[in-house]
Amino acid sequence: MRPQFAAVVDSATARPGIEERLAALVRIPTVSAEWDVTGSRPFEDLIGLLAELYPLVHEHLACERIGELGLVYSWGGPPSAEPGVVSTSSTSGSPESSAEPGVDAVVLMAHYDVVPVTGQEAEWTVPPFEGRIADGYVWGRGALDDKGALCVLLEAVENLLAEGWTPPRPVLLCFGPDEEVHGATAKLIAQTLRDRGVRPWLVLDEGGAITEVPFPGVSGAFAMVGLAEKGVMTVELSAAGTGGHASAPTGLTAVGRIARAVARLNRNPFDVRMPRTVVSLLAALAEHAEPTYQRLWRLAARNPRLAARLLVAGGGADGAALVRTSLAPTMMAGGSSPNVLPSRATAMLNIRVNVGETTAGVVARLQRVIADPQVIVRVVEGDEPTPESSSDNAQWALLAAAVEAGYPGVAAIPYLTTAATDGRHWHRFTPEVYRFMPLYVSTSDRAGIHGRDERVAVDSLVRGERVYRALLQGLPE
């Protein structure tokens, strides 16, 4: 059942119709994985729609492209483009430019591409790109991931501009077109702005949300704010074999060798390791737990094995992912015919590397566990886990206060982001990177992210706009 959040006490006015504007964004199928089919047209259509929906943003903020479709809106001091940077101005009117963004800049991020729905359309209650508003929700692909966050951020800026408010320090709105395909645009934006001297005071991207935690002895909704994120790897296992007729097999085939390797990996999960972020999470759970569980969660913060048992007991696979590197075989291939011995077989592994470990260490462990020199381990792509941001600083206090403005009584607690976000590219340049979208996501609604029937409550959009507005208004000089 959806929780009843306390009413928001706010004298400021906001434009009505936030749900209609998000629905309009949802109707444009910006599926980055289908670029080879659609090309840039849906993305250009969405960029054009942003100018229509948010006229004050496009009148008062400088907007440039970094890469083909990466958008950077600059408020309070736009960075000047340098020779060699692929960028074009899409600014109308006279941008407000008062200072060069430097160490005090604030970077607020979102992405406007979505994952495919191919093969799922018949399973959706509402067509995925209809953008229907019904039963208090906006339905459709991207409503949560991540056009909902994009929408509430732009709504907050538009409303503040309507009030004549300007930020006390430079604010950069950075929007990517290829997050869902692990594209390079966000990395290019981060590097380009860094080269211009931007040293963010705060970076905020998607990650956690307002949600109920599934852990024992803790009830109610919390703002799960990611302090770090796990690394991500795609690893190929391959083995060669002697071809021939299947009626005369010559021992272990290439398919059998790969199957054995995968079985060994599944039987030998990675060791439990608790990053500082998870220790902070456990301490927060102890603070908000029922009295009988408070001592247990405090003990868990000092005992990785107990922590693992409690997190798995409550959160299942999600809980386990907080304390160890996870490995999932996702694809296998080999052979050309049922009666022909395969000359080659492969398996693809998706690995999420725990904070405190490295991609090189993961490869060494895979080889050790597989224990077969004829199985070749190849890293197709890999990003290291990020450093861990603090939950004891002015940035965290600002985020917690902003959450309170939109969701009174909801506490912010630290969280380890197990999925990859565009925000990871900023961790090379600043320690203060956080992952949180100010939208309520129930357990059932969470299944819609990358699944069917994705939707977001209209009330969450209204509250999310309040969170971003409070965050911006709370920025120190």
289 by DSSP, 3-state: which? Answer: coil
The mean per-residue pLDDT over the stretch 75-90 comes to 47
In angstroms, the CA 354 to CA 323 distance is: 7
Q: How far is CA 173 from the centre of its chain?
A: 16
pLDDT at 243: 77
Residue 119's pLDDT band (cuts 50, 70, 90) = confident
pLDDT at 80: 43
Residue 11's pLDDT band (cuts 50, 70, 90) = low
What DSSP designation does 114 have? B
The torsion angle over the Cα atoms of residues 418, 22, 56 and 31, rounded to 10 degrees, is 60
* Contact yes or no for 82/66 (Cβ under 8 A): no
Taking CA atoms, 53 is separated from 57, 110, 150, 171, 341, in Å, by 9, 17, 12, 20, 60
pLDDT tens-digit profile of 403-412? Answer: 999 999 999 9
Taking CA atoms, 26 is separated from 49, 140, 323, 422, 464, in Å, by 11, 6, 35, 20, 17
pLDDT at 1: 64
* Contact yes or no for 252/260 (Cβ under 8 A): yes
In angstroms, the CA 443 to CA 416 distance is: 18
Q: How far is CA 409 from the centre of its chain?
A: 25
Q: How far is CA 375 from the centre of its chain?
A: 33
Amino acid at 125: T
3-state helix, strand and coil shares in percent for the chain, rounded to the nearest 5: 35, 25, 40
pLDDT tens-digit profile of 303-330? Answer: 888 888 888 877 788 888 999 999 999 9
- Contacting residues for 337 by C-beta, under 8 A, at least 6 apart: none
| pLDDT of 103 above 60 | yes
pLDDT at 44: 98
Token digits of residue 168 = 């006390």
* Contact yes or no for 40/47 (Cβ under 8 A): no
The mean per-residue pLDDT over the stretch 283-306 comes to 91
What DSSP designation does 99 have? S
Least confident of 102-106, 223-227, 328-332: 102-106
| pLDDT of 88 above 70 | no
In angstroms, the CA 65 to CA 87 distance is: 5
| pLDDT of 133 above 60 | yes
Q: Which of 143, 76, 135 is nearest to 115 (CA)?
A: 143
